[in-house]
Structure formats: structure tokens, C-alpha cells
Structure 1
């Protein structure tokens, strides 16, 4: 597989795009201690009370493939590819030609190793950088995915416009994201101490919006809506499993820095505290109809 890079200017402040996100550039081993073996860092999909975290994450990847209408051999772009769980899965299971984009350099080396180990190096490529700044082929993809990444992108209109530009006609976009329940809730809770801790101390920057903001930006870009799924309960259970893994592996996590496990647990507990009251988690699917 190939890893390409693009240089992004380091900037700061509200709405700015930094070179990378401080949380995702932690040592890869930390994530291996609390995520599932695929290192998928977003909501799973629990189909029974007995599903393990790994089963839930595999269920979710199949769910994404179904929502996108993938049958095999498609060209897929994953924006904010993380540790590569989605592109590695779609390459291995459906022989999709995949491209993952992420500004976090450490993630790309891990994906390259995994692609080689799984025999899909010919189907998996990554690029280091921000989607908003990359030069990508017009209508070059059959499907585009953003799982938990749009929260770190300041300009919704630009993101959806560019996503539509790289999709072929009738191609689909899948976006899953945590959202404030509505604009009034956002106004009340956006500057609370817990929100500030997660946004600034953990990630460096992020902007939780209501679902209506995502839909408006998608429609303004020319997309038509296909479906919206409420995955709030799935994400709540996913984070409960992550917290259990943090507790079980706290000593190993803290070997990377004293207090790392405690900070990680605090972040996860804050994220789980508001489900259904202040926040929801949705999967939005759009079609490029023209």
C-alpha cells in the first residue's frame, strides 16, 4: 500500500485546522488497550445483549456497507480513517479500492502494517492531511464515509461540497456523528466545564452540532437524504465497553504517562453522561443524485 502526505499549516483558535489532533497522535498502543482488535474508534452496533465489543464493531461495519449499497469492488474514500478499521474491512471483505485520509501521521504506519498482514496492500491507500486541503479526483469515488470525524472539521459547507464533488453520480455519503439534541441544548451546554475538557484538553478542537446543521449543510451542497438512524444506545454501550477496558488495562496505559488512564476514563464518562439528554448519535446517509 502507499502512504502519501500533504502539508497543512499549524493554526489555532476557533474554527482553525491544526496539523493533526493531539488525541489521535497518542501512542498507538494506548488505543490497542481499550478499543476492539480492529481498533475501530466509533459506535458499534449491538444486535443482541450478548454481543462483545468486537462483534458490535463488525456489525457496524456491515451496517455501513449496507447503507452505502456496497456489493464489491467499489472505490471508497474514508475521511478521518483513524486506525483503518473501515478501509481494511471493506478491502478484505468486499475487495473495495480504498483511500483513507487522516492528519495523524502515526495512524498511517499502523494501517500500512495491517494492510500488508491481511493481504490487502494493493487495495488500501492512505494520505496524510486534511480532506479540505487534499487534491482528489472529481467523481472519483463510489462512496464516501465520515465516522466521527466531521466534529473536527470547522467548515461544514465546504466539507459537504467537497464530498459531493468527489462522488460519482448516485454515489452515497455516510456520516455518523455525535450531535447536540438541538440548538437550544447546544447554547446551554457548549461552554460547560465537561464540554471544554473533552474539546480542548482531550482533542484540541471540536464542534458538536445539532443534526439539523448537518442536514442543512448536506442539502445546501446538493445531496438528497436517504436515511437517518439513531445509534445513541449503541454508542452508550460501546463507551461502557471502552471504559471497562480502560479499567482492566490502566497500568499498561499509565506506562505511557502517569494519569493517562484517569484522563481517558474521565473523557469517556463525560461523553457517556449526556446521551439522550444533551446529545444523540446519528448515522446520516446522503445520495449525490446529479
Structure 2
């Protein structure tokens, strides 16, 4: 049985580090570039709007974000659409930041968070219109359990959005899963991380009783996102290294490994499912 720490070591780093290389919303997943001139900030807002569209949100829905990070999605959905949002993350530092941001944006009554692992939390059955997992399942050892639990908390007709980096197929996973670069990202950066082929995620969704309604290939968008992050790391290297000598180089190395595989060993997909019954 895979044992995962109470928190992921990467997300326990000082919040200021992430502020140095992410966009102002601190969204730590793929952006969506609609033109060659899009900045990282604009592309991340494009992506949040895209998620809302894929979920079919019109305003006022109940939304659960699993692995909420620094709160970009729940703060956006609350502020732009008046959704009542709940974010889940095992990293305590993220929750204080989200609470401060929610208060500053006047949406504290719509935004709440819970510390812990989604697989272990007691959440209301059929209590949500939408569930999101943006880059979260990679840090969870049992995708079948995740999809079952997601369906259990979705109302009938509710929608699940999952975006995840995946090995491009099972053979590639077998060939590259134990490479030095893969091990470095999994162990030295995150403490645990498991890339899977998209087929495994789709099978888990289907086995949970969900209906797959769309799959989008966002691989090229994530490549551009990471290029922008690397540029920001380089520009802020001294400030990042103030939190620990060599931290900027380690972070850059991780991002370079992530970017090296796109389209060759890895892909990035947005998978949308509906709880049709």
C-alpha cells in the first residue's frame, strides 16, 4: 500500500516562493493561451473561464475544489459567478492565504476551505453541483477511490472537471516511470506523485458510474505555461534563493523536466464527466 504524507512537501514551502513565479492569482496548473500575445495572467484567467464553461456553471452553484492550492479557482468562481465554494487541501499554509484573499475580495461568505485529504474527509452526499480536480489526482494513490467519492458528492446531473498530466500510453509509462527525472520530480519535489495514462483515468471514471462528456488536449498550453514559470523563476532567482540556497535551480530543474516530455512521453488533458443518474 502506498503511504502518502499528511501534506505534500512541495506545497508546504513558504507561500512567498510561489508568489515569485506564478501569476497574481497563484494558479498552479495549466493556463489557456488564446493568442500568441497572451500574458500568463491573462491565460490563467482564460483557463478559469474555460473550466466554468466546461462545468456549465451559470451562477450560484455549489462547487467543491479538490486540491485547491492557493485558491485561484474557488476565489474566481465565487467572485465572478457567485458560486458557494469549498476548497480542500492538506497544506495548512494555503488555507490562511485563501481566507485573507476571500476577505480582501469581499467573498468570505462564499468561500470556505477544509484541511485534509479528500479521500478521508466527511463531505455531504450529493451536496455539490460541480467538483474540480486540477492537477490533484497525480498526488492521490487510488484514482478509483477518488472518482467514486467525487460521484458520491455530486448531485444528479452534476459535473466533474479533471485536468491532469498523463503518460501518453501504458507502454510509455513502463519505459519512463523509473527514469531519474521521473524519480526526481516524484520524490525530491513532491514526496509522492504518480502519472498515469489517460485511459486509466477514463476507466476509473466509468467504473465509478460517471459519463465522460468531453476530453480536451491542453498539452501545448501547459508547455507555454511552464515556459512562463521558468522565465519568472529566472527573474526572481535571488528572492527565491533567499528561502534556501539553490532552491531556484532545483525549481527550474523540476520545471525543465516537466516541459521536456510534452507530446513525447506525456500529455495534459481536461476530462469532464457527468453524474447522469
Normalising by structure 2, report the TM-score. 1.00
Residue of structure 2 equivalent to 1:187: 174
Match for residue 67 of structure 2 among 75, 80, 83: 80
Superposed CA deviations along residues 72-97 of structure 1, whole A, max 9, x for unmatched, are: 00000000000000000000000000
Distance (whole Å) between structure 2 residues aligned to residue 156 and residue 175 of structure 1: 11
Residue of structure 2 equivalent to 1:9: none
Distance (whole Å) between structure 2 residues aligned to residue 15 and residue 278 of structure 1: 24
Distance (whole Å) between structure 1 residues aligned to residue 3 and residue 169 of structure 2: 24
Residue of structure 1 equivalent to 2:194: 207
Match for residue 6 of structure 2 among 19, 40, 49: 19
Residue of structure 2 equivalent to 1:230: 217
Residue of structure 1 equivalent to 2:205: 218
Residue of structure 1 equivalent to 2:124: 137
Q: Tell me the SS of whatever aligns to 2:129.
A: strand
Residue of structure 2 equivalent to 1:46: 33
Residue of structure 1 equivalent to 2:235: 248
Residue of structure 1 equivalent to 2:260: 273
Counterpart check, 1:110 vs 2:97 = yes
Distance (whole Å) between structure 1 residues aligned to residue 131 and residue 143 of structure 2: 15
Q: CA deviation at 1:16?
A: 1.7
Residue of structure 2 equivalent to 1:10: none
Distance (whole Å) between structure 2 residues aligned to residue 135 and residue 22 of structure 1: 24
Residue of structure 1 equivalent to 2:151: 164
Distance (whole Å) between structure 1 residues aligned to residue 172 and residue 129 of structure 2: 36
Residue of structure 2 equivalent to 1:11: none
Superposed CA deviations along residues 247-289 of structure 1, whole A, max 9, x for unmatched, are: 0000000000000000000000000000000000000000000
Q: Which runs of 4+ in 1 moved over 2 A?
A: none
Normalising by structure 1, report the TM-score. 0.95
Q: CA deviation at 1:15?
A: 2.1
Residue of structure 2 equivalent to 1:67: 54
Residues 172-183 of structure 1: pairs in structure 2 closer than 5 A: 172-183=159-170
Superposed CA deviations along residues 144-180 of structure 1, whole A, max 9, x for unmatched, are: 0000000000011110000000000000000000000
Counterpart check, 1:56 vs 2:43 = yes
Could you list the runs of 5+ residues in structure 1 that have no partner in the other structure? Answer: 1-13
